[in-house]
Structure 1
Amino acid sequence: MARLATINSVGGIVGPQYCVPYPVDLAIVKKVFTLTDGNFVVADANDNLMFKVERKLLSLHDKRVILDAAGNPILTLRHKVLTAHSRWQVFRGESSGPQDLVFTARTSSIIQFRRKLNIYLPYNTSEDFCDFKVKGSWFERSCVVYAGESSSPIIAQMHKKLTAQSLLLGKDKFMVTVYPNVDYAFIVALIVILDAINTRHDD
């Protein structure tokens, strides 16, 4: 029953306004080789701005904030320090209170942290099973998001979109396809966490 509830809840994790009955292609454009590494923008297939991501460099914790196109914060992502696995907690708005927890994400292995990410919704306090899983290679920009374990339905995929021109301009661009009726703001949050884990490894 818990696994069925997970699959049925894909469409309303952040909010129903981020769910549409057709696939959504997102273009992720990240500034590279800058002091604000971790800041990037998310646009739709027509280059319309959808989200902005800001890394809070002066925070005691590694923290990212996802803002909508109007600049309103919709999610705050906080890295939990002093844990064996890389663990992130995602809250609504700019909150950090347990009542506003949206989901928790952690690497499934200390060694293979760049390949697997397990996601747990707030009700899943035991974390005996993951509600969602991300598998793939971040370096190759080739990742798949599953509703549950890797044998479960695919809800989003990342595609490599790296060109020599983008590197010369100091930008890294890649595409993410979000499947119909899947919360695309939730998928963006997962991409931000993957980027943060990779950034921390490179620091």
Structure 2
Amino acid sequence: MAAQLPANPIPAMASNTPLERPVVVVGQQFLAQYPVDLAVKSKVFSLGENDFKVTDINGTLIFQVKSKMLSLHDRRFLKDAAGNTLVSLRQKIMTMHRRWEVFRGESTELLFTVKKSSLLQFKTELDVFLAANTAQQVPDFRIKGSWMERSCTIYLGNSNTIIAQMHRKHSLSTFVLDADSFAVTVYPNVDYAFVVALVVLLDEINADRSGAD
């Protein structure tokens, strides 16, 4: 049984909205019954590695993303504000479609995989498969949009049901974004740790790293 982690800061409420069917991948504790607005700020390192910090509209640190440099696999770790690893993200080597696997904590328990919908893309299109979806014929989630414009939408399966959106600007005057930041709005009752992990993979898959088509 997984060890009990310290309580993570809860993002500030943006507005009230009706309860919807929950989407839980990383953990039930990352559900909110209201839209969660997050700011993602990236920090670029000299070896091409990016780290991120994720805050709410009040500037409270919610998540941080750390890189493991100079390893055989590209690896990222999504951590809570206290530094506990929630999921580890690892790129599969020698595979098509720039496939990444995401594991619970630093264990080998697979949670989901993400890959390009097709090899040649002019717009961002990614397929997300939960671990139980071994056939991987139909994605459990889809990501579509323009990563260059930081304008992408995450959908539930092949439906038009939106679970999260990322964007450059925000309507709230209190939500000030730096030049290297962008906003993510996570819909009510959607695992916002899962969404942040997808955003990190969006950045990785859209980066032109050698040897990973």
* TM-score band w.r.t. shorter chain: 0.7 to 0.9
Structure 2 spans left out of the alignment, 5+ residues: 1-19, 171-176
Q: How high is the TM-score relative to the length of structure 1?
A: 0.85
Who is 1:87 aligned against?
Answer: 99
Structure (1 or 2) with the greater helix fraction: 1
Q: Does 1:142 align with 2:151?
A: yes
Q: Does 1:108 align with 2:120?
A: no
After TM superposition, the structure 1 = structure 2 runs for residues 35-184 of structure 1, keeping only pairs within 5 Å, are 35=47, 37-95=49-107, 97=108, 100-112=109-121, 115-149=124-158, 151-161=159-169, 166-167=178-179, 172-184=180-192
The CA distance in 2 between the partners of 1:101 and 1:9, in whole Å, is: 20
Query: Contact 1:36/1:55 (CA < 8 Å) preserved in 2?
Result: no
Deviation of 1:84 after TM superposition, in Å, equals: 1.5
The CA distance in 1 between the partners of 2:135 and 2:162, in whole Å, is: 24
Q: Does 1:196 align with 2:208?
A: no
The CA distance in 2 between the partners of 1:104 and 1:9, in whole Å, is: 20
Between the aligned residues of both structures, percent identity stands at: 53
The CA distance in 1 between the partners of 2:101 and 2:128, in whole Å, is: 10
The CA distance in 1 between the partners of 2:162 and 2:150, in whole Å, is: 16
Aligned length in residues: 186
Letter of the aligned partner of 1:134 in structure 2? I
Query: Contact 1:161/1:173 (CA < 8 Å) preserved in 2?
Result: no
Structure 1 spans left out of the alignment, 5+ residues: 1-6
Deviation of 1:152 after TM superposition, in Å, equals: 2.7
The CA distance in 1 between the partners of 2:210 and 2:50, in whole Å, is: 12
Deviation of 1:200 after TM superposition, in Å, equals: 3.5
Query: Contact 1:91/1:103 (CA < 8 Å) preserved in 2?
Result: yes
Deviation of 1:175 after TM superposition, in Å, equals: 0.0
Query: Contact 2:22/2:189 (CA < 8 Å) preserved in 1?
Result: no
In the TM superposition, structure 1's runs of 4+ consecutive aligned residues that sit over 6 Å from their partners are none
